[in-house]
Chains A and B, each alone.
Chain A
Amino acid sequence: MNIQRTLALVGKELKRLTREPANLFMAIIFPLVLTAAFGFSFGAIGGSESKYNIAFVDHDNTQWASMLHSSLTQVPVLNLQDYSDPVKATDDLSQGLLSAVITIPEGFGLSIDSYKLNPNNPKQWLNSTIGLSVDKGSMVASAAIPPLIQQILSTVVTGKQSEATSPVKLADPTFVTAEKISQFSYMAPGMFAYAAIFLLMLVAQVMVGEREDGLLRRISVTPTTVGDIFASQIVSNLIIGAVQTLIIYLASTLLGFHPLGGASGIAVAFIAVMLMSLCSVGLGLIVASIAKNAGTATGISFVLILPLMLLGSFVPAPEYIARLVPSWYLTHALTSIFIRGASISSPAVISDIGTLAAVSILLVVLGVLIYRRFGNR
Chain B
Amino acid sequence: MNAIEIEALTKRFDQKVAVDNLTLTIQAGELFGLLGPNGAGKSVTIKTLCGIIKPTSGTARVGGYDIVNEMEAIHKIIGVCPQEPAYYPYLSGRENIQLFGRLQNMPDTKLRERTAQLVEALSFAEEADRRASKYSGGMIRRVSLAMALINDPEIAFLDEPTVAMDPQSRHATWDLIRGLKSNGKTVILTSHYIEEVEALADRVGIIDHGKLIALDTPQGLREQYKASNLEDVFIALTGRRIREEAVQ
CB-CB under 8 A from A213, the residues of chain B are: 86
Once the chains bind, are B75 and A223 in contact (CB under 8 Å)?
Answer: yes
Considering the chains assembled together, what is the distance between the CA atoms of A338 and B84 in angstroms? 52
Considering the chains assembled together, what is the distance between the CA atoms of A258 and B188 in angstroms? 65
CB of B227, distance to nearest CB on chain A (Å): 35
* A-contact 0/1 string along B38-57, CB 8 Å cutoff: 00000000000011100000
Considering the chains assembled together, what is the distance between the CA atoms of A223 and B76 in angstroms? 6
B104 contacts partner chain A, Cβ-Cβ < 8 Å:
yes
CB of A231, distance to nearest CB on chain B (Å): 13
CB-CB under 8 A from B102, the residues of chain A are: 4-5, 7-8
Once the chains bind, are B88 and A221 in contact (CB under 8 Å)?
Answer: no
B72 contacts partner chain A, Cβ-Cβ < 8 Å:
yes
Once the chains bind, are B82 and A217 in contact (CB under 8 Å)?
Answer: yes
A139 contacts partner chain B, Cβ-Cβ < 8 Å:
no
Given contacts A15-B95, A214-B82, A218-B82, whether A224 and B103 have CB atoms under 8 Å apart is: yes
CB of A222, distance to nearest CB on chain B (Å): 4
Once the chains bind, are A16 and B86 in contact (CB under 8 Å)?
Answer: no
Tally of chain A residues near chain B (CB < 8 A) = 23
CB-CB under 8 A from A217, the residues of chain B are: 52, 82, 86
Residue of A nearest to B72 (CB): A223
Given contacts A12-B91, A16-B88, A217-B52, whether A222 and B103 have CB atoms under 8 Å apart is: yes
A324 contacts partner chain B, Cβ-Cβ < 8 Å:
no
Once the chains bind, are B84 and A223 in contact (CB under 8 Å)?
Answer: no
Considering the chains assembled together, what is the distance between the CA atoms of A2 and B76 in angstroms? 14
A215 contacts partner chain B, Cβ-Cβ < 8 Å:
yes
Interchain CB contact (< 8 A) of A214 among B75, B86, B103: B86
Interchain CB contact (< 8 A) of A222 among B82, B84, B90, B100: B100
B99 contacts partner chain A, Cβ-Cβ < 8 Å:
yes
- Which residues 81-113 in B have Cβ within 8 Å of A in the complex? 82, 84, 86-88, 90-91, 95, 99-100, 102-105
A220 contacts partner chain B, Cβ-Cβ < 8 Å:
yes
Once the chains bind, are A222 and B88 in contact (CB under 8 Å)?
Answer: no
CB of B138, distance to nearest CB on chain A (Å): 19
CB-CB under 8 A from B104, the residues of chain A are: 222-223
CB-CB under 8 A from B91, the residues of chain A are: 12, 15
**Chain A at the B interface: mostly helix, strand, loop or mixed?**
helix
Once the chains bind, are A8 and B131 in contact (CB under 8 Å)?
Answer: no
Chain B interface size band reads 20 to 34
Interchain CB contact (< 8 A) of B99 among A12, A214, A221: A12
Most interface-central of B82, B84, B86 (chain A CB within 10 A): B86
B78 contacts partner chain A, Cβ-Cβ < 8 Å:
yes
A20 contacts partner chain B, Cβ-Cβ < 8 Å:
yes
CB of A5, distance to nearest CB on chain B (Å): 5
CB of A26, distance to nearest CB on chain B (Å): 14
A243 contacts partner chain B, Cβ-Cβ < 8 Å:
no
* B-contact 0/1 string along A1-27, CB 8 Å cutoff: 010110111011001100110000000
CB-CB under 8 A from B35, the residues of chain A are: none
CB of A321, distance to nearest CB on chain B (Å): 40
Considering the chains assembled together, what is the distance between the CA atoms of A223 and B88 in angstroms? 19
Once the chains bind, are B82 and A16 in contact (CB under 8 Å)?
Answer: no
Interchain CB contact (< 8 A) of B103 among A8, A15, A19: A8
Given contacts A4-B105, A15-B95, A214-B82, whether A220 and B52 have CB atoms under 8 Å apart is: yes
Considering the chains assembled together, what is the distance between the CA atoms of A8 and B99 in angstroms? 6
Considering the chains assembled together, what is the distance between the CA atoms of A19 and B132 in angstroms? 12
Once the chains bind, are B103 and A223 in contact (CB under 8 Å)?
Answer: yes
CB-CB under 8 A from A218, the residues of chain B are: 80, 82, 86, 147
Residue of B nearest to A5 (CB): B103
CB-CB under 8 A from A12, the residues of chain B are: 88, 91, 95, 99
Considering the chains assembled together, what is the distance between the CA atoms of A15 and B87 in angstroms? 14
16 contacts between A and B (CB under 8 A): A4-B105, A7-B102, A9-B99, A11-B99, A15-B95, A214-B84, A215-B86, A218-B80, A219-B103, A221-B50, A221-B80, A222-B100, A222-B103, A222-B104, A223-B72, A223-B75
Could you tell me which A residues sit within 8 Å of B by CB distance? 2, 4-5, 7-9, 11-12, 15-16, 19-20, 213-215, 217-224
